[in-house]
Amino acid sequence: MFQIMNLPFMVSIGGWEVLLIFLVVLLLFGAKRLPELAKGLGKGIREFKGAVEGIEKELDEAADSVEKTQEPNHSSGA
C-alpha cells in the first residue's frame, strides 16, 4: 500500500532545497512582488495564530464550565 509518509522528499528540507525554492519563487514572481507576498504570508500567519488562540480560549472556558458543574456542593454538607 502506498504511504505518503515514506516519500523521501517529505522527510526533511535542507539548505539547498530552501535556496532552490526561493530562487524558483523569485523567478516566478519577480523581485518587486516578493515583499508583497511576504507581507501577505505574515498577515495570514498572524490571523491563523489568532484563530488558534481563540479556539484554545473557548476550549479552556468550556472545560472550566464543565468542571464547575461537576464539582460537588460543599455548602450543604454535615
Q: pTM for the full model?
A: 0.52
Q: What is the DSSP string of 12-77?
A: ---HHHHHHHHHHHHHHH-TTTHHHHHHHHHHHHHHHHHHHHHHHHHHHHHHHHHHHHHS---TT-
Residue 18: what residue type?
Answer: V
pLDDT at position 63 over 70: yes
pLDDT at position 65 over 60: yes
pLDDT, tens digit (0-9, with 9 covering 90-100), for 1-57: 445 555 555 567 788 888 898 889 888 888 888 889 889 999 999 999 999 999 999
Asked if 26 and 34 count as a contact pair (C-beta separation under 8 A), the reply is: yes
| 12 φ/ψ angles, rounded to the nearest 5 degrees | -155, 155
Give residues with Cβ within 8 angstroms of 49, minimum separation 6: none
